[in-house]
Amino acid sequence: MATNMMDAVQLHTYGALEVLVYEKAPRPEPQADEVLIRVHAAGVNPADWKIRQGYLQAKFPFPLPLILGYDVAGVVDAIGAAVTAYAPGDAVFAMLPLNQLGAYAEYVVAKAALVAPKPESLDFAAAAGIPSIALTPWQALFDLADLQPGQTLLIHGASGGVGSFAVQYAKWKGAIAIGTASTANLEAIKQLGVDQAIDYKTERFEEKVAKVDVVLDTIGGETRQRSWQILKPGGLLISTEGAAEPVVSPSSDIRGVPIFVEPTGNELTGNTQLQQIAQLIDSGHLKPLPVDVLPLQAAAKAHEALQAGHRRGKFVLQIA
Ligand SMILES: NC(=O)c1ccc[n+]([C@@H]2O[C@H](COP(=O)([O-])OP(=O)(O)OC[C@H]3O[C@@H](n4cnc5c(N)ncnc54)[C@H](OP(=O)(O)O)[C@@H]3O)[C@@H](O)[C@H]2O)c1
């Protein structure tokens, strides 16, 4: 029936940009513990094109057809029978679990426990660019590294989505933040508050820093390999690129772990990490990345740009 259908961008097969099809798809129904969100905006992430290409099938065996997208901001349209924390009309944002997805659409369902009220100071497009890139460094720096005031953190890719939030968390926590970025983005990471900016195009970071407590690696490859030597004994390297390449420390006195971001929360507390992030945004402690807004039909354009790499800012698909 037409009323049970919605506009969506989905794939019927993995592959190049052409597999992204803008078409009608069945509208999801909320289970007892879920909310149905009328999506206003969906964030686009580098993982989206990797999923589209089929690179993450082994870890997440998605059934096809698949609606992509896990960062979402919108308005609660309906609630499941057991939901008490939200009501229709509430403005919310969320990261959907990576084994669910579905944000490139007019409607999506999410467990109420994973949803948080949208930051009041942001519109829906800006809010949709936040959840996963803010949760990833939150979980890396606070849950895994237990970053303390006065500790030194080196962030590879400090101008990126994850890196930009990492810099700001470090400064909020009273830690020393060193960031690597290309020449073009050095000024941007200084504006974010890094104590030391290293141009990875012209400088070798291992000649500029030593004895850091924590490295946040959002690059992998030889950048990660060259990073072990700058950790102090007892230091920790956390990598977002653990799916591509296992994180193996070369020495017993330093540690390395991957981060795989999770939307966290429970029915009593809701998503407390996203709630705290929203409060830090509304109180002016955190600045989101600049956002480029595209219509849902232009999802392929965002994928193409992200796949090319080296661009600063978030793409967000405007849906309502
Ligand atoms: N495992 C997880 O849970 C998880 C969660 C979120 C993201 N991720 C992954 O983390 C990575 C970063 O995500 P993102 O959203 O932050 O991406 P992004 O916004 O595209 O940022 C990546 C940044 O890396 C910089 N860069 C590229 N090569 C570099 C190098 N050799 N040294 C230092 N910086 C370099 C780029 O800046 P320039 O233009 O200046 O080069 C760019 O700003 C992606 O691969 C993503 O898939 C994983």
Q: Which of 44, 60, 159, 222 to mutate to test the pocket of ligand 1 (most atoms within 8 A of CB)?
A: 159
Ligand 1: centre distance to CA 252 (Å): 28
Q: What is the pLDDT of residue 312?
A: 87
Segment 76-104 mean pLDDT: 96
Q: Could you tell me the distance, in angstroms and rounded to a whole number, from the CA of residue 46 to the centre of ligand 1?
A: 8
Atom of ligand 1 nearest to the CA of 200: 32
**CATH 3.40.50.720, the chain: domain bounds:** 133-258
Query: Which range is least confidently modeled, 29-38, 198-207, 259-268?
Result: 259-268
* Tens of pLDDT, residues 144-192: 999 999 999 999 999 999 999 999 999 999 999 999 999 999 999 999 9
DSSP collapsed to 3 states, the chain: CHHHEEEEEEECCCCCHHHCEEEEEECCCCCCCEEEEEEEEEEECHHHHHHHHCCCCCCCCCCCCEECCCEEEEEEEEECCCCCCCCCCCEEEEECCCCCCCCCECEEEEEHHHEEECCCCCCHHHHHCCHHHHHHHHHHHHHHCCCCCCCEEEEECCCCHHHHHHHHHHHHHCCEEEEEECHHHHHHHHHHCCCEEEECCCCCHHHCCCCEEEEEECCCHHHHHCCHHHEEEEEEEEECCCCCCCCCCCCCCCEEEECCCCCCCECCCECHHHHHHHHHHHCCCCCCCCEEEEEHHHHHHHHHHHHHCCCCCEEEEECC
Tell me yes or no: is domain 133-258 CATH 3.30.1540.10: no
Rounded to the nearest angstrom, the distance between the alpha carbon of 110 and the centre of ligand 1 is 26
- Average of per-residue pLDDT across 111-135: 97
Q: Where in the sequence of the chain do the CATH 3.90.180.10 domains occur?
A: 2-130+288-318
Tell me what percent of the residues of the chain surpass a pLDDT of 70. Answer: 99
pLDDT in tens, 297-318: 999 999 999 999 888 899 999 9
In the predicted model, what is the mean pLDDT of residues 73-92? 97
Q: Which residues line ligand 1 (CB under 6 A)?
A: 45-47, 132-133, 136, 156-157, 159-163, 180-182, 185, 200, 218-219, 223, 240, 259-261, 310, 312
pLDDT of residue 40: 98
Taking only the tens place, the pLDDT of each residue in 178-188 is 999 999 999 99
pLDDT of residue 188: 96
> Is the per-residue pLDDT at 54 higher than 50?
yes
Query: Which pLDDT score is estimated for 2?
Result: 46
Does this model's pTM top 0.95? yes
Tens digit of each residue's pLDDT (9 = 90 or more) over 214-257: 999 999 999 999 999 999 999 999 999 998 899 999 999 999 99
Q: What is the pLDDT of residue 264?
A: 86
Q: What is the pLDDT of residues 58-82, one digit of tens each?
A: 888 899 999 999 999 999 999 999 9
- Among 56, 218, 237, 307, say which to mutate for ligand 1: greatest number of ligand atoms within 8 Å of CB: 218
Please give the pLDDT value at position 270: 81
| Rounded CA separation 106/108 (Å) | 7
Task: Locate the ligand 1 atom nearest the alpha carbon of residue 163 and give its number.
Answer: 16
Average pLDDT, the chain: 96
C-alpha of residue 95 to centroid of ligand 1, in Å: 18
Distance from Cα 241 to the centre of ligand 1, integer Å: 9
Distance 29 CA to ligand 1 centre (A): 35
More confident site: 265 or 223: 223
Residue nearest atom 46 in ligand 1 by C-alpha distance = 46
Residue 266 has pLDDT above 80, yes or no: yes
Domain at 2-130+288-318, CATH homologous superfamily: Medium-chain alcohol dehydrogenases, catalytic domain (3.90.180.10)
